[in-house]
Structure 1
Amino acid sequence: MKVLIIEDEEEMLQNMKQTLEKEDYLIETATDYDSAFLKIGVYDYDCILLDISLPGKSGLEILKELKKRGISDGVIIVSAKNSLDDKLEGLHLGADDYLPKPFHMAELNARIKAIFRRRNLQGDTFIEIENLKIDIENRIAFIEGEELLLNRKEFDILFYLASNKNRLVNKTALAEHVWGDHIDQTDSFDFIYSQIKNLRKKLKDHQAQVEVKAIYGIGYKLVSL
C-alpha cells in the first residue's frame, strides 16, 4: 500500500513514517503545499495523511485543489485542530476521515486499512481469485490453503495486480506503486522483471489457477487460466 504523509512537524512525520513502514507500507513524505503537489501531480496513492496546519497554504487548500483536479486518492486529515468547523469543511472537501492529534498509531493504521478496503475492495479483508486467496491484513497469499512464500516485493506486486484483476497495469505505474518515486533514478525495469519472473515461477509451482500475463512493451495483468 502506498501512502503520502503531508506533515511539517518533523518528529510527528518521522514517527508516522517509521511506524507505517513497519507495516510494510511504501511511504513518501511532503512538508508543505508545493512539495506535496510535486508528488500528487505525478504519482497515485492509496492514502494521503494530511495535516491542516501547514506553512503557507493550509491542508484545506490541498483538499480544494485535489477536488478541483478530480484526484480521488483516499485522504485522512490528521491534525491538532479539532474544531467541528474544520472537520466538517475537510469532509465536505472530500476527505474520507478525520483523526485528531494526539492519536495512537494503531488507530491510524486501522483507519488507513479501512479506507483501502472500502475504496478498493468493497470492505473485504481478503481477495479471492480462482484458487488464490490473499489475506490483506496479514500480507499472506495462499494457493489451495497452502501458503505461498513471497518476499515483500513479490507480495506487493501480486496484491497490486490482484486488486486490478484483468486490468492492464502499466509497468511504470506498477514500479511507482511498489518501489516509490525513487524509480525515477533508474534507467531500466530490470528490477521489476526479476521479481515478476520469480512470482510467476512460484505461482506455477503451486499450480495456481492464475498467472501474470505480460503485454509486451506495456505492462502486466493478472488473469485466470
Structure 2
Amino acid sequence: MKILVIEDEPDMREVIIDSLEKEKFLVESAAGYHAAMDKVAAYDYDCILLDIMLPDGSGLSLLEEFKKLKKRDSVIIISAKNAVDDKVKGLNLGADDYLAKPFHLAELTARVKSVIRRKTAEGQMMLELNNITVDTGNRVVYVAGQELALNRKEFDILAYFMANKNRLINKTALAEHIWGDGTDQADDFEFIYSQIKNLRKKLKDADAAVEIQAVYGIGYKLAGR
C-alpha cells in the first residue's frame, strides 16, 4: 500500500513517515503544494495525508485539483486548524476523513487503515483467485488454506496483481506502485524481474492455481490456470 504525506513541517513529516513505514506501508512525501501536485498528477496512492496549511498554496485547493483530475485516492486531512468550516469544506471536496493536530500516531495509523479498507478492491479486504486468498488487512497469503511466506515486496506485488487480476499491468505502473520514488533512479527493471522470479517460484512450489504471465515488452498479467 502506497501513502503520500503532504506536510511542510520537516519533523512532523519524518515522524509520520517513520510510523507508517513501521506498519509496512510504502511512503512518499511532499513538502508543498506544487511538489504534491506533481506527485498526485503522476502517480496513484492508496491514501494521501494532506495538511491544509502549506507554504505555497492551500491544501483545500489541492483537493479541488484532485477532483478535477478525477483521482480516486483516499484523502485524510491532517491540520492544526480545527475550525468546523474547514472540516466541512474538506469533506465536501472529497476528503475521506479529518484529523486535527495534535494527534496520536496510533490513531493516524488506524484512520489510514480504515480508509484503505473501505476502498481496497471496492471494500473487499480478501482478494481471491482459484486457490489463492490474499488478506490485505493482515498482509497474509493463503494457498489452498495454507499460509504462504512472502517478503514485503513479494506480498505487495501479488496483492497488486490480485486487485487487477486478468488485466495487463505495465512494468512502469507496477514499479511506481510498489517502489515509489525509488523507481526514478533505476536504470532498468532488474529489481522487478528478481522479485517476480522469486514470487513465481514460491507460488509454483505451493501449487498455487495462478500464473504470472509475461507480456513481452509491456508487463505482466495474473491469470488462473
* TM-score (structure 1 length as normaliser): 0.95
Q: CA deviation at 1:157?
A: 0.4
Match of 1:10 in 2: 10
Alignment correspondent of 2:23: 23
Q: Which residue of 2 aligns with 1:175?
A: 175
- Post-superposition shift, 1:202? 0.7
Q: Give 1:38 shift.
A: 2.0
Q: Distance in 1 between matches of 2:85 and 2:181?
A: 35
- Which consecutive residues of structure 2, in runs of 5 or more, have no partner in the other structure? none
Q: Partner letter of residue 143 of structure 1? A: V
Residue 5 of structure 1: how far off its partner (Å): 0.2
Aligned partner of 1:194 in structure 2 is 194
**Contact 1:114–1:123 under 8 Å retained in 2:** no
* Equivalent in the alignment of 1:94: 94
Which structure 1 residue ranges, 4+ long, deviate > 3 Å from structure 2? none
Distance 1:140 1:47, change over 3 A: same
- Any conservation in 1 of the 2:212–2:220 contact (CA below 8 Å)? yes
Alpha-carbon offset, residue 138 of structure 1: 2.2
Cα deviation, residue 161, structure 1:
0.7
Q: Give the % identical residues.
A: 60
Structure 2 match to 1:43: 43
Alignment of 1:16-165 (within 5 A): 16-165=16-165
Gaps in structure 1 of 5+ consecutive residues? none
Give how far 1:152 is off: 1.2
Quote how far apart the aligned CAs of 1:125 are. Answer: 2.8
Letter in 1 for 2:36: A
Q: Does the aligned pair in 2 maintain the 1:80–1:101 contact within 8 Å?
A: yes
- Per-residue Cα deviation, 1:55-82 (whole angstroms, up to 9, x for no partner): 1211011111111222221111011111
Kindly indicate whether the alpha-carbon contact (under 8 Å) linking 2:117 and 2:137 is maintained by their aligned counterparts in 1. Answer: no
Give the CA RMSD over aligned residues: 1.3
**Alpha-carbon contact 2:140-2:147 (below 8 Å) kept:** yes
- 1:41 partner SS: helix
Instruction: Give the letter aligned to residue 220 of structure 1.
Output: Y
Paired residue for 1:221?
221
The answer to whether the 8 Å contact 2:2/2:177 transfers is yes
Report the Cα offset of residue 215 of structure 1: 1.4
